[in-house]
Amino acid sequence: MEVNCSLTEPCLAGISSIIGSSCCRRILISFALVASALALTNSRVVAEDDPSRVTLYISVFDSHGKSVEGLTRDRFEIQEDNKQQTIASLHFETGTPVSLGILLDVSRSMGRERIDMALNWVKSLVERLKSPDEIFVNAFSDDSQEVIDFAAPEDYLDEAVTHLSTGGQSYTGLAVDRGLIKLRDAKNKKRALLLVSAGLDKAGPATLEHVARFRYPIYAISLKGSGGVTGTLDRLKSLSLKGTALNAYADLSGGNAMFADSSNEAEHVLGSIYYDLKNQYRAEYVSTNSKRDGKLRKIDLTVTGGEYTVRFLRKYQAPRH
C-alpha cells in the first residue's frame, strides 16, 4: 500500500489505523533516528569532534586602527593553501569566557625594576577579568616555573609573584611550549597566552610549529631590557630573519605584540589586549583537504568592502589521526 503524504498528524493517524499503534511508534522512532543522523551529517561543518574543523578568532581594524564590528559572512573570504574554503559559521562574540596563560620573563634582560613594573601590569589586566574567566601564571628565564595554577581572576595572589628569583637568559620558546601544553587543560573554549618580556630570544622553528599545532593566539607586551652588558649580548643574540620571538609568535598565531615602557603606554596596551580577548569574530570552516597528514597549512583571510587590517591564525597543523 502506498501512502502519499507527509508525516502530519492526520497521516500518522491513518498509518496507525492500518498497522497498529505500537508498530506506528516504532516507525516514528526509526524516522527520528534517521532524521538525527541526517542532521548530524548536515552539521558536519560545525561538529566539535570533526578533525577537519578549523576555528579562527579574527580581529578586524579600519584604517584608523579602530575595531570593526557588524560585518557579515559574505564579507570574509578564506583560503587554505590557495584553495577557497566555505565558511560554515561566523559571528561576533562579546564577553566570551577566556582561559589566559600569563608568561612572565624574569631573566637578566628584564631586571628587577622592569619585572616589578610587569607584575603591576599583570595585576591590572587580571583585575579586568572575572569568573568564569581563568588564569595561570608561569615565570621563565633559563627554565619555566609554575607560579599560579589555573585560578579564578578573583583568586589572584600578589604574594605568589612578588618574591620570584631573577637572572639567567630568556628562553621564550620553552616558556611558550609549556604554556601551550598547559592550556590544553583549560575549561574555556577560548584560550590565549600573554607574554610579558623584553623579547630577547629568537623564535625557534620547533616552537613556531607548536604554535601552529595548538592554534591558540599569543599576545605580547615587550619592555626595553635593562640588563647591562649581558642584556645587550642577549639582544644581539635575538636577531633573526623573523624578528624577535614576541613578534613571530604573535603574528603566526593571530595575536598581537605591542611595546610599553610606561604606565600610560601599558594602560593602552592592556585595554587593547582585554578587548581582543573578549570581542572577536569567530569563524568556522571544514577544510577541503581531508588528509590527516600532520602537515602545516597556510591560511589567507581577506575582508572585502574596505581597507582593513586583519589578525588571524596564519598557519595550523593538520590532524594526524
Q: Model confidence over 107-131: pLDDT tens digits?
A: 988 888 889 899 999 999 999 999 9
On whether both 15 and 157 belong to a single domain, the answer is: no
154 and 82 co-located in one domain: yes
Domain membership of residue 4 (yes or no) is: no
Per-residue pLDDT for 226 more than 60?
no
Mean pLDDT over 311-319 rounds to 96
Give pLDDT tens digits for 26-58. Answer: 434 333 433 443 343 333 334 455 778 999 999
Q: What is the pLDDT of residue 143?
A: 87
The proportion of the chain whose per-residue pLDDT surpasses 90, expressed as a percent, equals 60
* Residue 43, CA atoms < 13 Å, CB-side half-sphere: 10
Q: Residue range 9-16: average pLDDT?
A: 43
Residues 32 and 129 grouped into a single domain: no
User: Residue 167 has what pLDDT?
Assistant: 86
Has residue 20 got a pLDDT over 70? Answer: no
- Round the average pLDDT of the chain to a whole number and report it: 82
The answer on 236 and 163 residing in a single domain is yes
Q: Total structural domains in the chain?
A: 2
Within a domain: residue 150?
yes
3-class SS string, the chain = CCCCCCCCHHHHHHHHHHHCHHHHHHHHHHHHHHHHHHHHHHCHHHCCCCCCEEEEEEEEECCCCCECCCCCHHHEEEEECCEEECEEEEEEEECCCEEEEEEEECCCCCHHHHHHHHHHHHHHHHHHCCCCCEEEEEEECCCEEEEEEEECHHHCCHHHCCCCCCCCCCCHHHHHHHHHHHHCCCCCCEEEEEEEECCCCECCHHHHHHHHHHCCCEEEEECCCCCHHHHHHHHHHCCCCCCEHHHHHHHHHCCEEEECCCHHHHHHHHHHHHHHHHEEEEEEEECCCCCCCCCEEEEEEEECCCCCEEECCCEEECCCC
Has residue 1 been placed in a domain?
Answer: no
One domain for residues 182 and 281: yes
Do 188 and 129 sit in the same domain of this protein? yes
More confident call, 202 vs 86: 86
Distance CA 107, CA 219 (A): 19
**105 lies in some domain:** yes
Q: Is residue 3 assigned to a domain?
A: no
Residue 7 predicted with pLDDT over 80:
no
pLDDT at 224: 65
Residues 60-82 have a mean pLDDT of 96
Question: Tens of pLDDT along 275-292?
Answer: 999 999 999 999 999 999
* Same domain? 34 vs 84: no
**28 shares its domain with 85:** no
pLDDT for position 74: 96
- What's the pLDDT score for residue 104? 95
Q: Are residues 303 and 188 in the same domain?
A: yes
- pLDDT score, position 168: 87
* Host domain of residue 126: 50-321
Tens digits of residue pLDDT in 200-219 = 777 778 899 999 999 999 99
Q: What percent of the chain has pLDDT over 70?
A: 79
pLDDT band, residue 303 (cuts 50/70/90): very high
Q: Residue 234's pLDDT band (boundaries 50, 70, 90)? A: very low
Domain with residue 321: its CATH number is: 3.40.50.410
